[in-house]
A and B are shown apart, each in its own frame.
Chain A
């Protein structure tokens, strides 16, 4: 059972903290009223948005009929704060550090300091993004997987992406922790937020999403100029890597991307790599398979008969799976290896990935 006050703390700024404390006290008293809980659940099923939660407070105030006046007042307060969505400076408030409310990639509102000085990254792609926009000096903690750029290795490690150590993170006293859905589930949000640490979730699902994230990082960290220059540069490189427009009319090359040899994993509909393949002159043969990185049946793989195989190169993925031994790709020697670090991280080096893929999938005329 989710309790609304858990999320409300995220959504409103410090000035509302007193109101929240009152609300918490009130809510905890009524925790056991099951029909109130049912109402809560109903409201949250309908819509997760602020507006509905505001309605819910009113509803709850009515149904409990205790201290209802206070509740209505509280609910109004919530609604008012819910109205202030997007980027709002609330620096004039008595809090020592000026804060701002921002919306992250999952549509959550997060309250963070206007001037961010200490950042923890929970994903290699996020680490690369932060260094790329020129804020690497403010990164105080990252994961053991963060190996690029070279300076990232020197930063205090807080565990790997799947099992970060919450205590180490808290000890680093970050202003904000950046999480990426590309590397882990958002499960770490809850324990971190419960400890009063702001969590900003990035959810890049395409090349454009990565560029958007880079700009957003620049804005959050106050390095817009570097970020804008970087994005312009990346856009120029993307245009250069794309095939000439007349190639669109020609049949596309059938590409298979092997993520792991045994068991056989590939890229599916939701992977940003599918988009990259399709943007250069290729067609991912598994683009209609559900999920981002599906485990593929060997029978299906054998029948796909790709013309080009790209291996996401890692220790256990240096050769194509045996089922491809009779495929056109293996017979004609069109098997390529691209570092898994570059292919798997939705960061600035995704443009490197695009360039390398475009070299593997030659434009229509050259094939």
Chain B
């Protein structure tokens, strides 16, 4: 399915390309502009979806999602700081994004954990608080700093894949592979933790270690995804749910299938973003939300 969507998406675009016999300009459009963008979309989708799947199982919360928990915004703030202070060093963007995502995750987790343990309301509440706090910091920064420098940021914040480069693709592909492998290695432990942390502990799961690994892996993939494309919403929320409906709730299946389904979802949404009002473009984040929100409501009503 992923392969089919990738192929179809590669053929569709603002410029019509023939199947064979591309001239130099058409080849440049396909390989320098369209393919990096599609592959980056696939990586971003996979990243957000596996992060969502991992966080949902770990926190035993169907609402856990990088965007809702403030992880995305942490990464966005990190990227922005890197952009402002180390503009020439592009490598600092994913690094600071990763740091921001990690800090936001830890902050939310600490706030949500009380002496009585962690409950759903506290987690969602602290996630929302961290998210809004970080967005206001971002808004403050965009207001205070030079307008021209940050103009591209307003688009980037909505999710934007148009700035895809080959290096960006390599980086996010690396991150998503490492992250998915880590999450899959913890899939069995996550299955046990879905029953409850205490029970998992009794079964011999090193709860603390699993938690750190899952948080670390999701911060890594979300950091890379956000640094490359801004905040693309709803992927981490909707995709793992859809996958669970089809393959069941065994994380050994949910994590890899989420990666594939997330990639398909974002590539599909980005194809719409590229072609719907061509030669103009829509921000991909708006498209994922437009598809994601009704889908989520449908799932809610069905269950």
Q: A297-B281, A300-B15, A303-B15 are in contact. Are A323 and B163 (CB under 8 A)?
A: no
Q: Does B7 contact A (CB under 8 A)?
A: no
Interface centre among A302, A305, A326 (most CB of B within 10 A): A302
Within 8 A of A (CB), among B136-185: 146-149, 151-152, 155, 160, 162-163
Q: Give chain B nearest CB distance to A79 CB in angstroms.
A: 44
Among A294, A302, A315, the residue within 8 A (CB) of B280 is A294
Total A-B pairs, Cβ < 8 A: 70
The CA of A301 and the CA of B300, in the complex, are separated in Å by 42
In the complex, the chain B residue whose C-beta lies closest to that of A301 is: B279
> Would you call A299 and B13 a contact (CB within 8 A)?
yes
The answer to the question of B274 belonging to the interface, with a C-beta cut-off of 8 Å to chain A, is yes
CA of A315 to CA of B146, assembled, Å: 10
A291-B146 CB under 8 A given contacts A298-B33, A299-B13, A303-B15: no
Decide: B152 and A263 in contact? CB cutoff 8 A: yes
- Is B278's CB under 8 angstroms from A297's CB? yes
Instruction: Please name all residues of chain A whose beta carbon is closer than 8 Å to the beta carbon of B241 when the two chains form the complex.
Output: none
**Bound Cα distance A240, B138 (Å):** 49
A160 to B148: give the CA distance in the assembly, Å. 13
Q: Does A206 contact B (CB under 8 A)?
A: no
| Pick from B13, B146, B152, B280: contact of A289, CB under 8 Å | B280
Tell me if B152 and A326 are in contact (CB < 8 A): no
A296 interface residue per 8 A CB criterion: yes
A326 engages B28 (CB within 8 Å): yes
Q: Is A260 an interface residue (CB 8 A)?
A: yes
Chain B residue at minimal CB-CB distance from A268: B280
Q: Quick check: is B14 within 8 A (CB to CB) of the other chain? A: yes
Give the docked Cα–Cα distance between A26 and B279 (Å).
Answer: 52
Assess the A296–B279 pair: CB atoms within 8 A: yes
B25→A326 contact, CB < 8 A: yes
Q: Considering only CB atoms and an 8 Å cut-off, how many residues of chain A contact the other chain?
A: 25
CB-CB contacts below 8 Å: A296-352 with B = 296-300, 302-303, 305, 314-316, 322-323, 326
* Residue B93 lies at the interface, judged by CB distance under 8 Å to chain A: no
B111 touches A (CB below 8 Å): no
Cα of A299 to Cα of B146 in the assembled complex, Å:
30
Whether a CB of chain B sits under 8 angstroms from the CB of A295 is yes
* Chain A residues within 8 Å of B146, by CB: 315
Asked whether any CB of chain A lies closer than 8 Å to the CB of B24, the reply is: yes
Q: Which chain B positions have C-beta within 8 A of A290?
A: 280
B278 touching A300, Cβ below 8 Å: yes
- CB neighbours of A264 from chain B (8 A): 162
The answer to whether B14 and A326 touch across the interface, beta carbons within 8 angstroms, is: no
Residues of chain A with a CB closer than 8 A to B152's CB? 260, 262-263, 316
Distance from B86 Cβ to chain A, minimum over Cβ atoms (Å): 16
Establish whether residues A316 and B280, one from each chain, have CB atoms under 8 Å apart when the complex forms.
no
Are the C-beta atoms of B25 and A303 separated by less than 8 Å? Answer: yes
Q: How far is the CA of A323 from the CA of B25 in the complex (A)?
A: 10
Q: In the complex, A305→B28 CA distance in Å?
A: 12
Asked whether B33 lies within 8 Å of A302 as measured between CB atoms, the reply is: yes
**Mask for B43-79, Cβ within 8 A of A = 1, else 0?**
0000000000000000000000000000000000000
Chain A's closest residue to B30 (CB) is: A299
A295 touches B33 (CB 8 A): no
Query: Please, how many angstroms separate the alpha-carbon atoms of A166 and B13 in the complex?
Result: 45
Q: Which of A262, A289, A297 has the most CB of B within 10 A?
A: A297
Is the C-beta of B2 less than 8 angstroms from some C-beta in chain A? Answer: no
Which B residues touch A297, using CB under 8 A?
13-15, 162, 274, 278-281
Across-interface contacts of B29 in A (CB, < 8 A): 299, 302-303
- For A300, the chain B residues whose CB sits under 8 A away are 14-15, 278-279
Also in contact, A295 and B25, with CB within 8 A (given A263-B162, A316-B152): no
B33 near A299 with CB under 8 A, answer yes
Docked Cα-Cα span, A315 to B152, in Å, equals 12
Give the residues in chain B near A305, CB-CB below 8 Å: 25
A314 & B162 in contact (Cβ 8 Å cutoff)? no
Q: Give Cα A315 to B148, complex, Å.
A: 6
A260 and B151 contacting across the interface, CB-CB below 8 Å: yes
Given contacts A289-B279, A297-B280, A299-B33, contact A263 B160 (CB under 8 A): yes
A326–B27 CA distance with the chains assembled, in angstroms: 12
- Of all chain B residues, which has the CB nearest A290? B280
Which one, B13, B34, B280, contacts A296 given CB within 8 A?
Answer: B280
Residue of A nearest to B279 (CB): A300
CB nearest to A304 among chain B residues: B279
Q: Are A263 and B280 in contact (CB under 8 A)?
A: no
Question: What B residues does A262 contact at CB under 8 A?
Answer: 152, 163
- Chain A residues closer than 8 Å to B25, beta-carbon distance: 302-303, 305, 326
Which single residue of chain B is at the shortest CB-CB distance from A316? Answer: B148
**New A-B contacts (10) at CB < 8 Å, excluding given A297-B13, A297-B274:** A262-B152, A289-B279, A289-B280, A290-B280, A296-B281, A299-B33, A299-B274, A302-B25, A303-B25, A305-B25
* 13 sampled A-B residue pairs with Cβ under 8 A: A260-B152, A263-B152, A263-B155, A263-B160, A263-B162, A263-B163, A296-B280, A302-B25, A302-B29, A315-B149, A316-B151, A323-B32, A326-B28
Give residues in B with beta carbon < 8 Å to A: 13-15, 24-25, 28-29, 32-34, 146-149, 151-152, 155, 160, 162-163, 274, 278-281
Ranked 3 nearest A-B pairs via Cβ:
A300-B279, A297-B14, A299-B15
